[in-house]
A and B are shown apart, each in its own frame.
Chain A
Amino acid sequence: MTINNKQLALPSELLYHKCDLSYLKLTSTEDLVDSEDVIGQSRALEALNFGIGIRHDGYNLYVAGSTGMGKHTTVNNLLEPRAKSAETPSDWCYINNFDQPHKPLALELPAGHARQLHADMEQLVDDLTIAIPAAFESDEYQARAQEVHDKFKKREEQAFSDLADKAKDKDIVLLRTPGGYTLGPLKDGKILTPSEFDVLAKKEKDKIKAFTDEIEEELKSIIKKVPIWAKEGREKIKELNRELTEVTVEQFISELKDTYQDLPEVLKFLETVELGIITNVEEFRKYAGSDKKDPLADFDQVFLPFQVNVLVDNSDLEGAPIIYEDNPTYNNLMGRVEHLAQFGTLMTDFTLIKSGAMHRANGGYLVLDIRKVLASAFAWEGLKRALRAHEIKIQSLEQMLSLVSTISLEPEPIPIDLKVILTGERIFYYLLKKYDPEFNQLFKVMADFSEEMDRNEDNTAGYASLIATLQREQKLKAVSRGGMERIIEDCSRRIDDGEKLSLHMGNLVDLLCEANYWSTEENTKITTEIHVQKAIDSRIKRLDQLREQVHETVLRGDYLLQTSGKQVGQINGLSVIQLGDYAFGKPSRITATARLGTGKVIDIEREVDLGGSIHSKGVLILSSYLADRYAQDTPLSLSASLVFEQSYGFVEGDSASVAELCTLLSALSKLPLEQSMAITGSVNQLGQVQAIGGVNEKIEGFFDICHARGLTGEQGVIIPEANIKHLMLRTDVVEAVKTGRFNIYAVNHVDQVMELMTGIEAGEKDEKGEFPVESVNGLVQKRLTEMTEARRKFAKSDDEK
């Protein structure tokens, strides 16, 4: 008995969920005010507000959502007012540690003071390089220094002179030699010649020798004292220098002390500087008037201990900082100690310590992209360590990994109080949650951005306002009402749901910009639906090459696909090929064969490892359906094979399971299936047809092939009834349906599909549990019974043997 199931055909009105903004009574975006609300993200906003507001340990945020959802903008919009009203955090500097120069000290200052202190210290050095030499050149100092010098010189000379006098009394003269002194005996004021000495009596000679020895011993004793006297003289000069420096430096330092009197840490620093200058006063004298730019003068190195390295300067900041680190490497986050190559050696000092994003965000907020953090070696570990310890310790990776053994700096850690906001995809959140125990303790708040929202009147109105806001933000032309409607429709189509709206801001902005481009090209004042459509079409066109090639293989007969006639055990299935953010439908021929067997349905894709587990699940479900429906009381005595013909890639998903079941039923019942139809949908064990994804692309994929071959009015696509709400089909498809040249059927049970595909009633079980003989199910049951009987016979024959 043939039936007509045309009532399952969908009217064209259901194929496209048109947007109608007439209730807003507007003509373009100019009639709308800017939207201040973030639409469709109430859950995320609530979480964000909570996460930003709570100031307890570990309440850092993870903002989850796809790229282009507007996470950064939303976070920034929420942070800005809160940050502005917050207290501006302190400045941070590194200063020289005069006791342990390799361990620079951190200095916290009220905002704006670091830069001032830096300038003050530079000025101090400049002043002192003039004032100290001037003080040392003063007549007073010179006179005192000369006095000390003369005193010690005189003492030395006096000692020699006294000894010379003493020697003279004993007729001995003290003489200078190239390297010291010697003594010579005198006679009548003249030195004895060797011959005069020789003729002297032994007693006289012994006397001279004894005197000479005595004077020599004294001379030796004086010479030994000379270095001691010289040292004493130097000490005296040093003392004098110190005294003079103290007086000179104190004048300048006391001015600074007055300026920073409320900052005890700075006063402490100034005291160490004062001491440092007094200790290194010779450097100030040495570099008096030297050119700062002269590299040989090494000016910077000499006066470096008195400098201030401003690590964080918040002088221009109003409120708390919001730092977005675009390149969150370990060094960029934690700061680093740079080095300078000097004569082949790497040198560093505390002025080469550079701040990281965490330093700059201290007292405020640090926004990071989790993907980039995880992709940077040790950045994640460094971030966690700092958050856990509440301080930033600048340590080079080379040191951490023991790659270098040279002595480097160990800057004093800086305490931190900041909120870290990570943004990224959900997958990272869940992976970190599962595999990193510290993540739970440090990132306790998740703000989950919705990908879509309901397409009701309120939300659509909000969306229209959003379009207007973005249009103005991007400085684009106004968009007409029609343009807005088309944009909203496209936003539904993007997520394959006529009753939902995509919240992907990136795509929305792109579409607005591209439509604006076409509008500008056409020199119109306003962007209309025509420009929006052109933007959509041209985007598809740009990405469409592979689809065209695939369809061409079908149309040229390389890929076998019938769009007319009837065939047993053969059906047109539909699949979707996803390429980046573009997807298209591809019809596929699915065939089935059935024979006597033990109830096993072979999924050929699975057998050759080209089928995914979800696909295999679908095949197993249809085996169960067969057994349940047709062989409850008897063994299922068939062997069947299912295959996607000419498929050489991986097949995944269960959206072809209805098609596979129908092919198998056709193979069993020997009823030919309409080849002008294609089908998509998954099936459960009860034969119910379930929703699938990519319904629009699938329909359009088959439509394009049919259209190319010529629409007959018989062609169409069967889809699950549950997918009706997802329909957002292209205009040409809708138009073809409207004019009866193409059909789309919505079904909820496999029986409906078989009736549509065979034109024969599926058949219901009667009271005896049997299907009508001529129905689809009756024929299937009959064939399975025959198979069971045949199997029994085989079994009996085997037993007899």
Chain B
Amino acid sequence: MNDQIINGDLTVRRILMDIDAWGTGVSFMQSAFGLASHLEAELFGLFVEDAELLQAAELPFTREISLSSAQYRDLDASSIIRHMQVEADKLRRQMELLAATSKINWSLNIARGERFEQVFEKCNEFELIIFMPGRKYSTRREQGPSSNVKAPAVLLYKSGTHSLRALHVIKLLMTNGAFSYLKLLTLDNSAEKKAKEQLEKTGIPVNYVHIPNTEITELTRNIMSVSPGLIVFPFLDEWREQPSVIKDLLDKLPCPLILVR
């Protein structure tokens, strides 16, 4: 895979889609299938059963507080497992339906553990990792922008093949007019210049923004200032050592994040 990158091959062959056990939106999955179809890549859905929750459910005093009634309910591990299985089946059916129209290779894998860790463990095998928006404490099941306004997309562009592939992906995603404009974050003029070369004939409206660094606070500030519909980041080297940075970022994001390797 690295060879391909080195050789400037921007092909995306495998996509990993992170699926939230508590409600991955159909629209989100549709987008993922659309992207996979566009890139002629294989889509790999990962459904992670929350091990922490199962562990907590086994404790004697643990109970659930209902979101709809604010009442206490007994919580046991078996009912959670049953529920997760139902959710997984539901997801599989949805994916089958979507695959029928997009004609791509796909699979759904179920794992147990900590969600982010499970995804991160597998990310080396994929060029693209699509994360559901974090919103850990949201009461709404369907994620993403609430209005039908076209939101912008945000791209972090640095030099390197990962960034080039990210640019390639965002170009594909923006050609159907799904986003109002592209907010392109760069660290320096040379990166901006390179990006401009790639984008100049695409007709994509771009807002170039220089950022001083790629620290999580800086990235979050720039993302939240525009309420984006999609974020595409190249997988930065520094994140390889500190994956929790990505986890913190995901908890704050209002929309899907695509990490490009």
Contact = CB atoms under 8 A, between A and B. Distances in A.
Given A142-B147, A146-B227, A180 B65 contact: yes
Contacts of B59: 184-185, 192, 194, 197
B138 A156 contact: yes
B135 A157 contact: yes
B81 to A, nearest CB: 11
Contacts of A224: 70
Interface in B44-61: 50, 52-53, 55-61
A180 B69 CA distance: 9
Given A142-B147, A224-B70, A184 B137 contact: no
B63 interface: yes
A179 B84 CA distance: 12
B55 A179 contact: no
A153 B254 CA distance: 10
Contacts of A143: 149
Contact of A182 (B22, B56, B145): B56
Contacts, number: 113
B60 A180 contact: no
Interface residues of A, number: 41
Contact of B70 (A137, A183, A197, A223): A223
A146 B149 contact: yes
Interface of A: 137, 139, 142-143, 145-146, 149-150, 153, 156-157, 159-161, 164, 173-185, 191-194, 197, 209, 212, 216, 219-220, 223-224, 226
B136 interface: yes
A150 B227 contact: yes
B7 interface: no
22 contacts: A146-B147, A146-B149, A153-B138, A161-B136, A173-B56, A175-B52, A177-B53, A177-B64, A178-B83, A181-B67, A182-B62, A182-B75, A183-B62, A184-B56, A191-B55, A191-B56, A192-B59, A209-B61, A216-B63, A216-B65, A216-B72, A224-B70
B146 interface: yes
A175 B49 CA distance: 13
Interface of B: 22, 50, 52-53, 55-68, 70, 72-73, 75, 80, 83-84, 87, 135-140, 145-149, 180, 227, 254
B64 A179 contact: yes
B55 A180 contact: no
Contacts of B72: 216
Given A146-B145, A224-B70, A182 B52 contact: no
Contact of A179 (B67, B180, B227): B67
A174 B137 contact: yes
A174 B53 CA distance: 10
A180 B52 contact: no
A156, A164, A178, A223 pick with most chain B CB within 10 angstroms: A178
A348 B133 CA distance: 51
B64, B66, B83 pick with most chain A CB within 10 angstroms: B64
Nearest to B134: A157
Contact of B64 (A157, A180, A185): A180
A220 B55 CA distance: 22
Contact of B57 (A149, A159, A179, A182): A182
A197 B60 contact: yes
A558 to B, nearest CB: 100
Nearest to A230: B139
A197 B66 CA distance: 25
Contacts of B60: 194, 197
A182 B64 contact: yes
A139, A161, A179 pick with most chain B CB within 10 angstroms: A179
A176 B136 contact: yes
A699 B246 CA distance: 128
Nearest to B56: A184
B23 to A, nearest CB: 10
Nearest to A221: B70
A157 B53 contact: no
A184 B53 CA distance: 8
Contacts of A180: 64-68, 73
B51 to A, nearest CB: 9
B138 A175 contact: no
A181 B58 contact: no
B64 A181 contact: yes
A176 B149 contact: no
